């Protein structure tokens, strides 16, 4: 039996596009001699559809689209993920399901049992867990079909009290297929291979796994679909961050060595780079925009975002705005212009002095007798925000936010100032990773100016300001933040790791106090196991610092 | 048996406060002769604790605090809600539970079975559902204790496949107690009484129900704890929007008529008013601030927010900032000043012309040859945002956002301009309800100037602008929005109600297109069954309008 895995980029709620795209790949798989073509979880509507699922019309459109696609499944069978109605009165109104389609008709409906409800996932918000299990008979083979999380209740800390495969294995299936929407983070590829391999071994069955690819606002799917033999060895590994369709012969997967060689996986920093480029590209493509703008300060954060945007959208579609103030150093302008020259994007220079002075004058009366402080620094950052949004409004550029994860974490940024933007490009990348990203971008030729990389980071909002005036060394800061945010450790546990007690308390307090700011920031492209945004939901007026 | 219901205002993660407050009320209940005092769901840590629950230290602090409180339960028993560890490897790591404490010790642990995971609720994100049920023996009576949602799987569209009371009833209990954290919306009081009454009738048992009171950022608890007899009649109804402690004699609840008379419940608009005042007050109290600022335009929205803030915080703690532009009409300033006079708050007048001109001049080069449009309107709104944030930064005022729900819905507002603020006061109140609120506030004496109420709404960002230039009549608009947002109907269903087809499509498209703006707005005080924010999670780059 020949099985095609179709690793596609879906667009949430864009039924017309998804339908056309799926039908095209059914035909392609048929041309390549596949007996069965497998699409991802919720392929019909894209993942995650969130509260679109609460609209009856949305669910009906999913079914109509699937039935339309079914007509094209002649001479080839197909597995297709979609949400379906739960006809039983008790329980949630929907299932996360898959249609097995043969001879133009839906022959079997498989439903998901384990519903991820943690981090960015909210599946139990919508779906009833399945508790009936049955294999699919196709061409004399018994297929144990599961949906994404259904295979993840294995190893250390099982989140669910049951395992769907423990039920399906009773029917003695010949192979497993798993359809997924498994988002990227730079640690996830290793986990995924391990968990799937453990399943193949545990049930002693070959396993075909198909993932989505592409970004849905902040959530990025990396593809990397996989095939394992029954002893858990990777027999094929599909492309990362790109669409892909490959056909595998079940017999050859089981018996031929090195038939489908796996490409070596990229290092973490290259994965992050590729994910961010895809994240920017899909945000624009899927929202119908082509041009981006951003504030270019001469610092490393905005330089990285500019480089990524040029890679994603083409330098001709990127407008860098330089907005010097009286506190900007000479090298800032020079460094920013060097980048513009290296990269070939458009630029404007707009000094902010006039507006900053206007606000000083307008606020002179209420501020009588008070010294300049953070207020005036924020005014400068907010004047820049106004200019960038004006460029966006006037010319249809989408504003890219350039805040990094270390800043977001400790609140080192101005709300409605440098925290503006439609999408946070590097808000899930720590400052120490930003430097690695700069080196990676410069690996063949200098794009990020060397001086931008080596100079001490500064917000340049007062004379001779340095980040290190207000923040700990980024090396230590990022380690503490990683323990706190990614590993979800409280102060006691972090101090037990050997970090300075006062410093840990100070950092964690800053993180807590910045919660109200983060609530109002743009969605942030997620590349880590724990990004700010939907995946991290903290009270705002709580009184607790973990 | 005498049962005290303690309807308290908890502070999320403020263990010290919650402990002291609970112990105080244990002693109070004892003084009043109660045998048992009942506190709400997750009383120890406040509700909703969200991802604080992922921190081990948080769970440990809950247990330590409960054990500390237990020491005070001598001569009185106590029921106390808190999260506890799940010691079984499989399943989520926590339970949403209650301690039954007697003679200073935890005697019984009851766990929640039905975990609300919809709208603002995320309980399955954290908790394992309970499947073991046992009544509590106390003073010769069998108590069927359940936690909030456990009693809600009744009537029309049950969300769960089981009912905890169907299990507990097998032990033939003498009474039911339910501890809750049931947030306010103006339609919820009727539903709550109905559902609880149906339970009392169905199981033929008296029911004691205790709710929280107070606001946790955007979620407002209204209290209104209840007692029913076994035929489902309301025997007592506790205060709304205030703390309360009352002691009930089980025997008298069952056999004495009108022993505990229920206060008449307020009309919806009064409930909304009281909820918003409580929402503002608790936001400030729990985040440690006392003073508020807001932009006062002379229009009805900011007038209402100003009046509510003065009620919540005292007029002396409210700074209204008037920021006229060249497009402000004379009556705007007069109307705003009339309100200031009526209400007695502080005010400043800061014209925005100078800053707006500065931006025009700074942007003259890139904007060469282009006519003024929405860009320049947004610049004015954003200049106001900068001034308000500067007042906030300099003096420690917290900025109140004044956008109403109709505007939020259709995106009639400027991001980083009038959409600034720490908390959205009326973002869940439709414009048509705003007018009702004005009449309610003015019921005894004119606070909101009559002209503010009767003049046609306008953003005053260009000459003679009216809301009605860009938006449908608010009467129709709000009805369509209510169908779409609260009732979650798509265009087909709304058109079927008799609304104009083109208008429905236009309105729903505006709602979809404003999703990216709403993602970055402040938390909004929730008073309706479906507010923008955590309770409504829509894709941003999806391509679908329901």
State percent of chain A over pLDDT 90.
Answer: 92
Helix (H) or strand (E) holding B82: strand B77-85
If pLDDT is split at 50, 70 and 90, which confidence band does B263 have? Answer: low
Assigned domain for B529 exists:
no
In chain B, which among 465-494 make CB contacts under 8 A with chain A? 488-493
C-alpha dihedral, A400 to A403 to A409 to A412, nearest 10° = -130
Write down the mean pLDDT value for chain A. 96
User: A441 and chain B: CB distance < 8 Å anywhere?
Assistant: no
Residue A481 lies in a domain: no
Q: Quick check: A355 and B351 CB within 8 A? A: no
Could you tell me which chain A residue has the CA closest to the CA of B346?
A: A366
């979809």: which residue's tokens? Answer: B512
Please give the backbone phi and psi of residue A415, each rounded to the nearest 5 degrees, phi first: -60, 135
Q: Let me know whether B259 and B275 are in one domain.
A: no
Torsion over CA: A329, A333, A334, A336 (sign): positive
Cβ-Cβ contacts under 8 Å, A44 against chain B: none
pLDDT of B327-357, one tens digit each? 888 889 999 999 999 999 999 999 999 999 9
**Is residue A278, in this structure, part of any structural domain at all?**
yes
Residues A146, A89 share a domain: yes
Question: What average pLDDT does range A168-192 have in this prediction?
Answer: 96
pLDDT exceeds 80 at position A262: no
Give the number of A-B residue pairs with CB atoms closer than 8 Å: 280
* Residue A458 · residue A325 · CB < 8 Å: no
Give me the phi and psi of A388, to 5 degrees please. Answer: -65, -40
A148 as an active site residue: the answer is: yes
pLDDT in tens, A434-483: 999 999 999 999 999 999 999 988 888 888 888 888 899 999 999 999 99
Q: Say yes or no: B258 and B345 in one domain.
A: no
pLDDT confidence bin for B265, thresholds 50/70/90: confident
Interface list for A 390-419 with B (CB within 8 A)? 390-391, 393-394, 415-416
Is A362 within 8 Å of B374 when comparing Cβ atoms? no
Cβ neighbors of A479 (< 8 A, separation 6 or more) are A499
B399 pLDDT above the threshold of 80: yes
Say whether both B336 and B441 belong to one domain: yes
- Averaged pLDDT, B294-322: 98
Residue B470 has pLDDT above 90, yes or no: no
What distance in Å separates the CA atoms of residue A429 and residue B28, rounded to the nearest whole number? 52
**For range A41-64, the mean pLDDT:** 97
Q: State the total domains in chain B.
A: 2
pLDDT band per the 50, 70, 90 thresholds, residue B326: confident
Residue B57 has pLDDT above 80, yes or no: yes
ipTM given for this complex? 0.96
Tell me the backbone φ, ψ of residue A346, rounded to 5 degrees. Answer: -80, 160
Evaluate whether residue A300 is within a structural domain. yes
**B241 and B291 in one domain?**
no
Residue B168 belongs to a domain: yes
Are B296 and B258 part of one and the same domain? no
Last residue of a domain, one of A201, A227, A260: A260
Burial degree of A346 (CB within 10 A; 0-12, 13-18, 19+): middle
Distance CA(B356)–CA(B360), nearest Å, equals 6
Q: What pLDDT is stored for residue B329 in this prediction?
A: 84
Nearest to A184 by CA among A232, A133, A240: A240
**Residue A332 Cα, gap to closest chain B Cα (Å):** 20
Do B157 and B182 form a contact (C-beta atoms < 8 A)?
Answer: no
The verdict on residue B284 lying in a domain is yes
Give residue A33's pLDDT.
Answer: 98
CB contact residues (below 8 A), chain B span 207-236, against chain A: 216-217
For residue B237, give its domain range.
Answer: 2-265
Question: The CATH number of the domain where A52 resides is what?
Answer: 3.60.110.10
- pLDDT at residue B262 greater than cutoff 90: no
Of residues B165, B156, B64, B68, the one with CA closest to residue B112? B165
Check CB contact of B523 with chain A, cutoff 8 Å: yes
Asked whether residue B524 is assigned to any structural domain, the reply reads no
Residue A360 is part of a domain; what is its CATH number?
3.40.50.620
DSSP SS3 for A171: helix
Contact residues on chain B for A489, CB-CB shorter than 8 A: 55
CA–CA separation, B72 and B470 (whole Å) = 62
The residue among A468, A497, A524 that closes a domain is A468
CB contact under 8 A, B519 and A516: no
The minimum CA-CA distance between B360 and chain A, rounded to whole Å, is 10
Of A117, A157, A534, the CB nearest to B124: A117
B530: which chain A residues are within 8 Å (Cβ-Cβ)? Answer: none
Q: Which residues contact B36 (CB under 8 A, 6 or more apart)?
A: B1, B2, B3, B4, B76, B77, B78, B79, B138
What are the catalytic residues of B? 41, 112, 148
Task: Give the residue on B whose Cα is nearest the Cα of A12.
Answer: B542
pLDDT for the residue numbered B460? 85
Contacts of residue B280, Cβ cutoff 8 Å, sequence gap at least 6: B292, B308, B309, B312, B313, B400, B423, B425, B525
Give domain status of residue A536, yes or no: no
Does residue A263 surpass a pLDDT of 70?
no
pLDDT band at A286 (very low <50, low <70, confident <90, very high): very high
Does B87 share its domain with B156?
A: yes
Q: Is the pLDDT of residue A259 over 90?
A: no
Q: Of A468, A489, A511, which one is at a domain's C-terminal end?
A: A468
Residues 50-69 of B with CB under 8 A from A: 50-52, 54-58
**Is the domain of B240 the same as that of B339?**
no
Residues of A in contact with B542 (CB under 8 A): 11-14, 46, 49, 52, 216
Do B437 and B291 fall into the same domain? yes
From residue A305, alpha-carbon distances to A203, A433, A525, B73 in Å are 45, 13, 12, 59
Active-site annotation holder among A45, A62, A148, A306: A148
pLDDT digits (tens, 9 = 90+) for B145-171: 999 999 999 978 899 999 999 999 999
A436 and A297 assigned to the same domain: yes
Is there a contact between A227 and A253 (Cβ–Cβ < 8 Å)?
Answer: yes
Looking only at the bridges linking them, the beta strands covering A219-222 and A213-216 are: antiparallel
Shortest CA gap A171–chain B (Å): 24
DSSP string, A52-68: GGGSHHHHHHHHHHHHH
Contact: A13, B544; criterion CB under 8 Å: yes
Interface probe, candidates A542, A545, A546, chain B, greatest B C-beta count within 10 A:
A542
Give me the mean pLDDT over the A117-134 stretch.
98
Residue B13 pLDDT: 97
Peptide bond into B48 cis (omega under 30): yes
Residues A285 and A242 in one domain: no
Q: Cα(A368)–Cα(B307) distance, rounded to whole angstroms?
A: 28
The confidence score (pLDDT) of residue A328 equals 86
| A186 and A62 belong to one structural domain | yes
Q: What is the pLDDT of residues A309-353, one digit of tens each?
A: 999 999 999 999 999 998 888 889 999 999 999 999 999 999 999
| Residue ranges of A 276-315 with Cβ closer than 8 A to chain B | 282-283, 286-287
């Amino acid at each position: 039996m020949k099985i095609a895995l179709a690793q596609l980029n879906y667009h949430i709620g864009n039924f017309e596009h998804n339908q056309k795209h799926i039908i095209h790949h059914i035909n392609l798989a048929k041309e390549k001699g596949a007996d069965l073509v497998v699409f991802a979880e919720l392929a019909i509507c894209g993942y995650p559809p969130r509260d679109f699922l609460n609209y009856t019309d949305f669910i009906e459109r999913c079914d109509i689209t699937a039935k339309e696609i079914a007509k094209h499944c002649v001479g080839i069978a197909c597995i297709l993920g979609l949400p379906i109605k739960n006809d039983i009165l008790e329980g949630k109104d929907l299932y996360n399901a898959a249609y097995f389609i043969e001879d133009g008709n839906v022959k079997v409906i498989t439903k998901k049992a384990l519903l991820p409800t943690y981090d960015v996932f909210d599946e139990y918000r919508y779906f009833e867990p399945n508790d009936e299990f049955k294999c699919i008979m196709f061409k004399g083979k018994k297929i144990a079909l599961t949906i994404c999380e259904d295979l993840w209740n294995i190893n250390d800390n099982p989140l669910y009290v049951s395992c769907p495969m423990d039920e399906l294995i009773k029917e003695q299936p010949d192979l497993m297929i798993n359809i997924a929407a498994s988002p990227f983070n730079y640690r996830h590829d290793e986990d995924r291979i391990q968990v799937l391999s453990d399943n193949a071994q545990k049930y002693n069955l070959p396993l075909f796994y198909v993932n989505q690819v592409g970004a849905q606002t902040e959530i990025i799917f990396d593809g990397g679909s996989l095939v394992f033999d029954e002893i858990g060895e990777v027999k094929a590994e599909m492309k990362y961050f790109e669409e892909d369709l490959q056909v595998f012969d079940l017999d050859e997967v089981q018996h031929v060595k090195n038939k489908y060689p796996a490409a070596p996986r990229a290092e973490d920093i290259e994965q992050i780079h590729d994910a961010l480029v895809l994240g920017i590209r899909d945000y624009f493509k899927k929202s119908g925009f082509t041009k981006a703008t951003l504030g270019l300060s001469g610092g490393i954060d905005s330089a990285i975002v500019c480089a990524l945007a040029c890679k994603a959208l083409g330098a001709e579609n990127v407008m860098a705005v330089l907005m010097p103030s009286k506190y900007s150093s000479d090298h800032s302008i020079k460094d920013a212009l060097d980048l513009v020259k290296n990269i070939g994007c458009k630029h404007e220079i707009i000094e902010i002095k006039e507006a900053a002075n206007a606000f000083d004058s307008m606020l002179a009366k209420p501020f009588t007798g008070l010294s300049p402080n953070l207020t005036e620094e924020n005014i400068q950052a907010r004047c820049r925000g106004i200019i960038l949004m004006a460029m966006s409004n006037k010319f249809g550029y989408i504003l890219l936010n350039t805040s990094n994860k270390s800043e977001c974490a400790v609140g080192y940024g101005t709300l409605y100032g440098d925290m503006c933007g439609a999408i946070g490009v590097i808000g899930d990348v720590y400052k120490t990773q930003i430097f690695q990203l700069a080196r990676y971008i410069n690996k063949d030729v200098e794009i990020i100016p060397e001086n931008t990389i080596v100079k001490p980071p500064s917000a340049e909002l007062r004379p001779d300001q340095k980040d290190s005036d207000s923040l700990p060394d980024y090396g230590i800061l990022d380690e503490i933040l990683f323990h706190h945010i990614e590993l979800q450790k409280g102060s006691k546990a972090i101090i037990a790791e050997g970090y300075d007690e006062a410093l840990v308390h100070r950092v964690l307090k800053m993180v807590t106090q910045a919660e109200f700011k983060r609530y109002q920031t743009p969605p942030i492209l997620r590349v880590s196991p724990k990004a700010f945004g939907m995946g991290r939901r903290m009270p705002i007026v709580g009184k607790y610092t973990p």
